[in-house]
Structure 1
Amino acid sequence: MRITIIIAALIYWCAPAVSMTIELERRFGSELAIEEFTILSSTDIELFAPVIEEFVAKRPNIAIHYVLASSRDIYSAIDTERAAYDLVISSAMDLQMKLVNDGHAGRFESPVTASLPDWAKWRDQLFGFAVEPIVLVVSRRDFAALPIPTSRRHFLSIIRSNSATFRNRMMTYDVNISGTGFLFATQDARQSDTFWRLSEVMGAMGTRLSCCSGEMLARIESGEIAAAYNVVGSYAQARAVTHENIKVVHLEDYTNILLRTAFIPHQSQKSQQAGKFLNFLLSSEGQVILEKQGGLPSIFNSSIIEITNAKPIGLNTGLLVYLDRLKRENFLREWNAALVQ
């Protein structure tokens, strides 16, 4: 069984892409708009809608077609299919960096991008627009009589001491199919050896694998699972407001901080319109709307970086290390050996 899964994972990551699966799509703007451009994104529409709606309200001649897909499908659409999109947005920083490094992005310079901190941009081609802590989410009901984990070692100890609570009742990303999950797991592996011990114990407990944060949070909400590891922070915080069983935990040994990034493909036929939107997204006004109405933390939100032992994932070519074919194969093999038991 394990060997089959490992082989399937390697085939999935290495084989030529098939047609992209569009999860949702929506048009923003007036029916009378004379210009329209397309955004390909992994960010849920409801989180991104406020900033788009404000942009098109101020520019009635421009409409935006927003297409939602997985980070892995986005990568394949641009890299293999050469799909025609005008702005590409993803939470998978490593896949975004690879697309840009491989020549798929055009340059974009403006007073707005020039004012960005150096850590939020790369070569005037790739731009960070939101910061995301990657968190542990637990069920308040299941943890009513348990201590809240303060670190991965502590979480590991709690699992071992309460196997009946956690057996078949934990979830994490399936890195075989999720580009974002692969990024989170490889960053964990770089931060601490504890990650592998935790992975082995989670595997022994029958941890379920998921495509996305939304699915994990839904299982916490229903009480089906007790804990979800490596969940996107903004999604978790938004759900916690309306679902009392969700508790968001920032582990104090370290918290990886993700940058959601965007670039304009060099083949875009609407790069001027896409540039206008990118400028708005990165502007003070756009950042306030993104955070206050969409719930995506602004790159100017200092409280995220001030989380105990925050570890921002660097926007640089170091992201490409685990995308090397051999390193990726070795990582997937080790990860599946730990988690798929």
Structure 2
Amino acid sequence: MKRRSFLSLMLATPLLGAGLSGGAAQERQPLVLMGTEAPEVMRGLVEALGQSAESGGLAVDYRQARPAQIVSRLSSQADAAALPHLVLLPTPDLAVYLANEGHTLPQALPAGLQAPHWRHEVFVVGHDAAVFVTHKRRVADEEGPRSRIELARMLERHRSRFQGRVGLVNIGIDNVAYGYAAQDSLRSALFWRISGAFGASRARIFDTPEELLAALSEGIIDFGYNVPLSAARRAASNDPEIQIIIPQDYVLALPWTVLVPARAGRQDGMLLPSELVGLFFLPPVRQALSGMGLIPIGAGSGMENMQMIELGPELLVFLDPLKRSRFLDTWFQQVVQN
């Protein structure tokens, strides 16, 4: 018998959508999506998920949470009804951790669709590249570094010029920044040299990429390092003076992943569709991901030397408490110099 599509399965599930019974409207539980981005950033994606004709006008409820809160929620013994149906994470290490700990539900993509995944439980829906950012009026085009060696030389040769004028995202607070730093340290012998150069330049450290980009726009800093392309594109759309520089030596790209919490798979006695993650591969949703500044799966990036981080247990190395503590200690010693 021909397998029904994941859309028909969703629309047949009382957990999702809305319908009429006996001439009276009856509310049904919406699809709950949890992620780390602010609601205004997610608005286009939520609309694409919920209003696409192909998804039958599915109602979507988006809830924002910090990565640590998501991990805690999925790994605790909280009521299954309080869990989201889908989770979108920009931190692949935490997604793999949740899968390895048994907190995710296996899924199958609809026929004809392919995407990188980990054990059919964590699926890559796009990548976010790490870029450099400058302000056009304060950093001449020929002055902006195009590679990490050029960046190191710029900071070392023009220390007084950039004193207090460069910015980093705090890798001890921001999980994406930590992921970029960890992967950068594995790929470049220049990582610690650059970290030291930032320290000698008395770099300003910001809690989030958005705070760094706001400081760039306001004239507080002139340069930012390892900023997510998605955040940089949003900032540049509001301030055309923000210049995005794609590193020419290599471009780190962290995968954004989607997963279904294991205990959310059975709520009110009803089983969630086994192809629920397929929603993220519908054309309108892929367009929305691109509109957020991500590089959707299968889409060309136009960037050379892109290194897309793969899902796997090796991502868990830098989650080890001892490894993480030592890495953060060394980083702060380098970039926070008295």
Inter-CA distance 215–132: structure 2 relative to 1 (3 Å threshold): same
Tell me if structure 1 keeps the 8 A contact 2:39–2:64: yes
Tell me if structure 1 keeps the 8 A contact 2:110–2:275: no
Return the letter of the residue paired with 1:298: P
Tell me if structure 1 keeps the 8 A contact 2:130–2:229: yes
Return the letter of the residue paired with 1:53: E
Inter-CA distance 72–185: structure 2 relative to 1 (3 Å threshold): farther
Return the letter of the residue paired with 1:245: E
Map 1:198-237; keep pairs closer than 5 Å.
Answer: 198-237=194-233
Residue 93 in structure 1 maps to residue 87 in structure 2: no
Aligned length: 307
Larger deviation, residues 266-275 vs 87-96:
266-275
Structure 1 unaligned regions, length at least 5:
1-28
Distance 2:147 2:249 in 1: 5
Residue 42 in structure 1 maps to residue 41 in structure 2: no
TM-score, normalised with respect to structure 2: 0.82
Cα deviations by residue, 1:34-88 (Å, 9 ceiling, x for unpaired):
2223222013433432232133234677432211223333333333575622211
TM-score, normalised with respect to structure 1: 0.82
Inter-CA distance 115–62: structure 2 relative to 1 (3 Å threshold): closer
The alpha carbon displacement at 1:159 in A equals: 1.5
Tell me if structure 2 keeps the 8 A contact 1:239–1:246: yes
- Aligned-residue RMSD, C-alpha: 2.5
The alpha carbon displacement at 1:148 in A equals: 1.9
Tell me the equivalent position of 1:253: 249
Match of 2:237, SS state, is helix
Structure of greater Rg:
2
Distance 2:124 2:293 in 1: 16
Map 1:173-322; keep pairs closer than 5 Å.
Answer: 173-268=169-264, 269=266, 278-291=277-290, 293-302=291-300, 304=301, 306-322=302-318
The alpha carbon displacement at 1:272 in A equals: 5.7
Return the letter of the residue paired with 1:38: V
Match of 1:46, SS state, is helix
The alpha carbon displacement at 1:151 in A equals: 0.8
Structure 2 unaligned regions, length at least 5:
1-16, 19-24
Tell me if structure 1 keeps the 8 A contact 2:106–2:274: no
Match of 2:295, SS state, is coil
Residue 52 in structure 1 maps to residue 30 in structure 2: no
Inter-CA distance 73–210: structure 2 relative to 1 (3 Å threshold): farther
Tell me the equivalent position of 1:24: none
Inter-CA distance 101–36: structure 2 relative to 1 (3 Å threshold): same
Tell me the equivalent position of 1:84: 83
Q: Report the structure, 1 or 2, having the larger helix content.
A: 1
Distance 2:211 2:26 in 1: 37
Match of 1:240, SS state, is helix
Identity %: 26
Return the letter of the residue paired with 1:108: Q
